[in-house]
Amino acid sequence: MGQNNAEGGCLCGAIRYKINGKILGAAVCHCRDCQYVCGGAPSYVFLVTAQSLEITKGETASFRSTADSGAIRIRHFCKACGTPLFAENSFYPDVLSIKAGSLDDPSIYKPAAHFWTKSAPNWHCIDPDLPSLPEGESRDPK
Ligand SMILES: [Zn+2]
Ligand SMILES: [Zn+2]
């Protein structure tokens, strides 16, 4: 990916955002929580620094939960149409994961790894050419 200044938003248009910085990475998360949030599918996300996400329109609603990793996740979504948009992770407070489906042009998205494959149902597609982990990334020791 690496594309700067990508823009996106939710299905109804109430929320709009802009990325003012580098995309740090991209991954597919198969954890059970993501299956709920994505309607069964894994979560296709890319990572940016928290300060590079600029909400240019509207205000998100959020839901807080404890992930299988033990991290507190705060998931932000549109309260009008329910589109999942981005999430905070207490293990990586400077990083946000943004749902690829919310990009204006989702074709710029390119996943680089699969996480939590042990939670994937057998009908999830897992690219055999990408690194995959049965669980998440281990907690950053920094
Ligand atoms: Zn919306
Ligand atoms: Zn997940």
pLDDT for 20-73, tens place per residue? Answer: 999 999 999 999 999 999 999 999 999 999 999 999 999 999 999 998 889 999
Per-residue pLDDT tens digits for 83-111: 999 999 999 999 999 999 999 999 999 99
Class at the top of the CATH hierarchy for domain 7-119: mainly beta
Q: Give the ligand with the smallest distance to the CA of 81.
A: 1
32 secondary structure, DSSP code: H
Task: Please tell me the pTM assigned to this model.
Answer: 0.91
Gap between the Cα atoms of 99 and 46, Å rounded: 7
Q: Are the C-beta atoms of residues 57 and 9 closer than 8 Å to each other?
A: yes
Q: Give the ligand with the smallest distance to the CA of 99.
A: 2
Q: Give the ligand with the smallest distance to the CA of 71.
A: 2
Taking alpha carbons only, the member of 27, 64, 40 closest to residue 120 is 40
Q: How far is the CA of 11 from the centre of ligand 1 (A)?
A: 5
Confidence of residue 141 (pLDDT cuts 50, 70, 90): very low
Q: How far is the CA of 108 from the centre of ligand 2 (A)?
A: 21
Q: Give the ligand with the smallest distance to the CA of 76.
A: 1
